[in-house]
Structure 1
Amino acid sequence: MNRTPWRRRREPLDLAELAELAGLLPAPGDPVLPHGRMTTLEEHLMNEIQQAQARKAAETEPQSAGRIPSRSSGRPFRGGRRLALIGAAVAVAVLAGVAGAAQFTGQDTVEAAGSPEGSVPASVVQAGQGTTQGLSNTVALISGAAAREKLPEPKPGQFIYIKSQVSWLTESEDANGKSETYVQKLHPRQAWMSPDGRKGWLIEPGNGTTSREGLTLDVKGEALKEGPRLGAPSYDYLKKLTTDPDELLKKIYKETKGQGNGPDQQAFTTIGDLVREQVMPAQLTSALYRAAAKIPGVMVVEKTTDAVGRQGIAIARTDEYSGDRTEWIFDSKTFSYLGERTVQMRDRSGIKAGTVTGHTAITERAVVDGMKELPGSRNKI
């Protein structure tokens, strides 16, 4: 059906009439955004693109991790193997706002990007102040708990299974510079990965990343030739790493040189990506936490909350460039790992201070016998 209203065809105007009409009309407006606003958008977009490129360089192909991204924020995810696609989501939203500048629907009006589908307004919290006091004691308790944790060791043919609840930042901005910050609705994420890191599967439909059936995380091409590394680890790779915190941190700095927003922030991000969505030898997890405590700027946040409302204590660091603080959350009594939260600590690029731009909660870790198999069941999804 033709939805265009029928109009009577007019006779063409001659040049003299056109000139007369042109003189009566005001000069056409310039649809280009003001320079200051454009600069802000470009800065935000380039930051997200750089973070996405850093993740891509570390991954070569999408694989499971834990931005999980994006942070974020952001993050984010914000190297590592996570498939949150945070940077891409934010970049697309910003571009949509800029493109909207030319989509005039009437005089002095523009078409806004609108609320992203499947999103809710981002929560704004009163983030607790971090402190370095008690950092060494807190890390000692956390690393001690990690060392005592009894985790299954995956065998060839089996798969590491990680189930979590996650939410990441999206942003909508119109051509006038008015922006709204949203987050994805909290949604489940399930990831499977073989011990050698070559085969995997991800199901995360709430992020728009996968269908309900999921997508493959199998490593192919150049990534397969390159093999596992810190930015794209496997269980078999991780179990061969040193458990000396100083040597471990030295290796992390060396292999992540030039990535992210500075060496200290990238080292912290890399460790966070390793412990978030992975099963690894207990002694290595313990060593990673002790290594993190040696990174400048790392602090303790005494009270925070993961994505499913569990309260805990956090080891955290604020990114000096983006102003977001990433918190690794641990149970206050058992000191077991619960999840991660990212909070914007200062106003930046339309995101208010206190905005939670990323939230994760690990709800289950297990080893299963087959791809897409659930713990305690031979049934596959």
Structure 2
Amino acid sequence: MIRNSRRRTEPLDHAELARLLPAPADPQLAASRQDLLEEHLMSEIHRPDHAPAASPVRRPLRRPLRRTVLFAAPVAAAAALAVVVSMSNPAGTIASPRPVKAPVVQIEEGSTVQLASTVHAIAAAATARTTPQPGPGQFIYIKSQVSFMSTRNNADTGESVTWVQPLHDREVWKSPDGTKGWLDEPGYQDKGGITLDTNEPRKQLSYTWLAAQPADPDAFLKSVYSTVSGNRDHDQQAFNEIGSIIREQLVPSGLAASLYEAAGKIPGVVVVEHAQDASGRDGIALARLDPQTGERSEWIFDRDSHQYLGSRGVQVREFNGVKPGTVVERTTILTRAVVDAKNQRPGTGQATA
């Protein structure tokens, strides 16, 4: 089986899946990243094993996007998931695109020298930008391009090669309160997408939850820390949680500055002067190194407008065979908008952010 990365990803609820999965004894991932891992886990059960033959490597995860959780689930849970997949797609399996070798980049050291000024510039730009406000019955629409990691070890040679998904489109629709939603990720989900409807929304990911948060950076950061738990580094969890909001949510205009200012207060956050998103756009990044996995999560902003471009995960310290410089995650935001219905795409006259 191929393991998929958020992260979070980069970053969603599936009610039936949530009922089948056992409750974790020690939650280690931000909610949005856990959701994304669940979605990719379902797609992996569909896919034939057509990547280069090898045995999977376990790797602790920082979020719903990837690693250990996939292999920690009991056999019974995996079997139950297979039943769900079979019921949702009785005609056959999804032929997911063949993974490719992960990109490798030169690691640039981060610094705190420009942290305060960079955070201030990003916060000011976010405040100045007009953000549409979703109304009753409307949906927040995010279109991005993403690529997440799948690591395999060659049992014959002992060599480890890190594979990633080819860059592909991902579209998400979310109701403001988080109870309704849809995900369309061609090649990785059922044709046409899957529902994200749930009776128990993870409130920290909803627009409604964000709109109710205090505008004071310290108070907001305290609220974010209240959502994390377990033995994993709480500072990293808080950073990942805010990153998940930035990537696939609409941030209320009154909270935008506080959100970035709060992120700048998390211990270990640095500025990386040069980082590329999934589209190859070079920008400046707010980043933090996960002390447990050796992976640095980077939020990338245009260096002139300071608008959010996307995210990148770079391995800084070798871990479980993943070499330093390996890009294990790439995302780029294409469209962020408010639409009138689920599955509707932005058109003329509709608000975009």
TM-score class, shorter-chain normalisation, is 0.7 to 0.9
TM-superposed deviation, 1:205:
2.5
Structure 2 partner of 1:200? 181
Instruction: For 1:190, give the aligned amino acid.
Output: E
TM-superposed deviation, 1:87:
2.3
Distance in 2 between the 1:51 and 1:326 partners?
Answer: 24
Task: Say whether 1:180 aligns with 2:154.
Answer: no
Distance in 2 between the 1:248 and 1:173 partners?
Answer: 42
Instruction: For 1:330, give the aligned amino acid.
Output: F
Structure 2 partner of 1:121? 101
CA contact (8 A) 1:65 1:273 kept: no
TM-superposed deviation, 1:117:
5.5
Task: Say whether 1:298 aligns with 2:277.
Answer: no
Structure 1 partner of 2:256? 285
TM-superposed deviation, 1:218:
0.2
Which of 201, 216, 220 is 1:244 aligned to? 216
Q: What secondary structure is seen at the aligned counterpart in 1 of 2:117?
A: helix
TM-superposed deviation, 1:193:
0.6
Distance in 2 between the 1:170 and 1:89 partners?
Answer: 13
Correspondence 1:128-207 to 2 at 5 A: 128-176=108-156, 177-206=158-187
Correspondence 1:315-326 to 2 at 5 A: 315-326=286-297
Structure 2 partner of 1:104? none
Instruction: For 1:346, give the aligned amino acid.
Output: R
Structure 2 unaligned residues grouped into runs of 5+: 1-21, 41-57, 76-95
Distance in 2 between the 1:322 and 1:237 partners?
Answer: 30
Instruction: For 1:148, give the aligned amino acid.
Output: A
Task: Say whether 1:352 aligns with 2:323.
Answer: yes
Distance in 2 between the 1:128 and 1:180 partners?
Answer: 22
Q: What secondary structure is seen at the aligned counterpart in 1 of 2:226?
A: helix
RMSD value over aligned CA atoms? 3.2
Distance in 2 between the 1:215 and 1:285 partners?
Answer: 30
Structure 2 partner of 1:9? none
Instruction: For 1:317, give the aligned amino acid.
Output: R
Instruction: For 1:336, give the aligned amino acid.
Output: Q
Give the TM-score, by structure 1 length.
0.69
Q: What secondary structure is seen at the aligned counterpart in 1 of 2:182?
A: strand
Distance in 1 between the 2:37 and 2:132 partners?
Answer: 19
CA contact (8 A) 2:150 2:162 kept: yes
Give the TM-score, by structure 2 length.
0.74
C-alpha change, 1:269 and 1:55, in structure 2 (3 Å) is same
Distance in 1 between the 2:287 and 2:174 partners?
Answer: 27
Deviation per residue, 1:118-166 (Å, 9 max, x gap): 2100111002110000100000000000111111111111111000000
Which of 43, 51, 54 is 2:27 aligned to? 54
Relative contact order (alpha carbons < 8 A, sep ≥ 6): 1 or 2 greater? 2
Structure 2 partner of 1:17? none
Identity %: 44
C-alpha change, 1:120 and 1:91, in structure 2 (3 Å) is farther
Task: Say whether 1:213 aligns with 2:225.
Answer: no
Q: How many residues align?
A: 288
Distance in 2 between the 1:301 and 1:65 partners?
Answer: 31
Deviation per residue, 1:19-43 (Å, 9 max, x gap): xxxxxxxxxxxxxxxxxxxxxxxxx
Structure 2 partner of 1:28? none
Q: What secondary structure is seen at the aligned counterpart in 1 of 2:223?
A: helix
Distance in 2 between the 1:305 and 1:91 partners?
Answer: 30
